[in-house]
């Protein structure tokens, strides 16, 4: 629509869409929230106009160009008495109603997922958790049915109200049904035929109940297994150990055990006492005769020339008297 047609439309009561609609449902804002009798109505190709009063569908007008009148909307005219003449001899020239353009042949997708955790017990303290997600392709089959449900659940229908309604119905019902089902972990992991048939049949039933047909279902399952934790064996304590534990306390005993491993048997009984570490280095004493006597204080044997202690009277080697020659 060019700029001149848009300006012209602002000053007229024509009911038509600007450009190609993208959404499945397009709520239409009427001028002054009213249909003007005698105004032009244009319904695009592959679309219908749904006219509502309160929470009821009154008219479904197919594609084409029309002039708004009582003949075009007989249910509305009968409900609002549009043909009635007032005391001044005039008929109503407008009326308030809801207007929605809907794509009848367009398929649409809704996302599905579990709204709460699915937990299944499989043994003693053993269970597995299942999550599912996917999408369902749908198409409107009964316009009056789905709009009747939408009008009862929402005060004003938005462009995504139909998708949101179907998603809510599918997610809540499928989660509850699978929660009560008895399928094994292997069924979810392998996506077995009985499980998929169960899901497809249930989804078709739920969508049909709101006037929608199911064209395709895609679903994936995620499985996480939880096994019981291994029990730790408790070491039985003797009476003596229990008495020591009462007297010293568990913290002191832990310090004793730690210090025993670090100091090879020495115990630190208190926090401020550090265990003495054994020295691994050894000291050796040189006991050779050269270092045993000091030259300045030794006596030299005149007979053999051997060194002797300063207080020696005889040589320890040859037996001669010190200071005498044999």
pLDDT digits over 120-140, tens only? 988 777 899 999 999 999 999
Tokens representing residue 158 in the block = 């938005």
Considering the segment(s) 108-226 as one domain, its CATH architecture is: 2-Layer Sandwich (3.30)
Write out pLDDT tens, residues 10-23: 556 799 988 777 88
Q: Residue 260 class from Cβ within 10 Å (0-12 exposed, 13-18 middle, 19+ buried)?
A: middle
Contact indicator for 194, 161 with CB cutoff of 8 Å: no
Q: Residue 204 class from Cβ within 10 Å (0-12 exposed, 13-18 middle, 19+ buried)?
A: middle
Write out pLDDT tens, residues 87-125: 888 888 999 999 999 998 899 999 999 999 999 988 777
Mean pLDDT of 237-253: 68
Question: What pLDDT shows up at residue 239?
Answer: 72
Query: What angle in degrees, to the nearest 10, is found between the helix axes of 250-263 and 239-248?
Result: 100
pTM above 0.95, yes or no: no
Contact indicator for 100, 25 with CB cutoff of 8 Å: yes
Question: What pLDDT shows up at residue 305?
Answer: 79
Write out pLDDT tens, residues 141-173: 999 999 999 999 998 899 999 999 999 999 999
Place of tokens 């198409």: 139
The Cα–Cα gap between 115 and 15 comes to 41
The Cα–Cα gap between 96 and 165 comes to 26
Task: Please state the φ and ψ torsions of residue 114, each to the nearest 5 degrees.
Answer: -75, 135
Of 18 and 4, more confident:
18
Q: Helix, strand, or coil here: 239?
A: helix
Question: What pLDDT shows up at residue 251?
Answer: 54
Cβ-proximal residues to 26 (8 Å cutoff; 6+ apart), any chain: 17, 100, 101, 102, 159
The Cα–Cα gap between 297 and 290 comes to 13
Of 248 and 43, more confident:
43
Question: What pLDDT shows up at residue 277?
Answer: 52
Task: Please state the φ and ψ torsions of residue 131, each to the nearest 5 degrees.
Answer: -125, 140
Of 1 and 116, more confident:
116
Task: Domain ranges for the chain, please list them.
Answer: 3-103, 108-226, 238-277, 286-326
Question: What pLDDT shows up at residue 19?
Answer: 79
Output the CA angle 73-76-82, nearest 5 degrees. Answer: 95
Contact indicator for 166, 247 with CB cutoff of 8 Å: no
Question: What pLDDT shows up at residue 257?
Answer: 57
């Amino acid at each position: 629509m060019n700029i001149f047609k848009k300006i012209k439309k602002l000053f007229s009561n024509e009911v038509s869409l600007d450009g190609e609609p993208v959404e499945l449902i397009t709520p239409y804002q009427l001028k002054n929230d009213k249909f003007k009798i005698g105004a032009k109505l244009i319904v695009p190709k592959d679309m219908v106009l749904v006219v509502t009063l309160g929470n009821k569908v009154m008219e479904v007008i197919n594609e084409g160009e029309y002039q708004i009148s009582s003949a075009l909307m007989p249910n509305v005219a009968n409900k609002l008495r549009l043909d009635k003449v007032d005391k001044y001899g005039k008929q109503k020239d407008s009326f308030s109603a809801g207007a929605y353009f809907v794509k009848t042949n367009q398929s649409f997708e809704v996302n599905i997922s579990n709204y709460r955790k699915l937990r299944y017990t499989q043994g003693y303290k053993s269970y597995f958790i299942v999550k599912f997600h996917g999408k369902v392709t749908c198409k409107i089959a009964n316009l009056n049915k789905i709009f009747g449900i939408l009008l009862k659940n929402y005060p004003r229908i938005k462009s995504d109200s139909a998708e949101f309604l179907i998603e809510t119905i599918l997610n809540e019902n499928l989660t509850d049904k699978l929660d009560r089902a008895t399928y094994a972990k292997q069924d979810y992991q392998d996506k077995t035929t009985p499980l998929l048939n169960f899901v497809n049949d249930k989804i078709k039933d739920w969508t049909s109940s709101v006037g929608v047909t199911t064209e395709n279902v895609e679903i994936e399952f995620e499985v996480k297994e939880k096994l019981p934790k291994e029990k730790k064996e408790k070491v039985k304590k003797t009476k003596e150990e229990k008495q020591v534990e009462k007297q010293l306390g568990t913290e002191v005993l832990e310090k004793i055990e730690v210090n025993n491993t670090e100091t090879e048997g020495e115990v630190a009984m208190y926090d401020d006492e550090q265990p003495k570490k054994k020295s691994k280095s050894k000291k050796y004493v040189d006991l050779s005769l050269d270092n045993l006597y000091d030259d300045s204080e030794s006596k030299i044997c005149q007979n053999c020339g051997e060194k002797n202690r300063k207080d020696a009277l005889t040589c320890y080697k040859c037996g001669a008297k010190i200071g005498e020659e044999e």
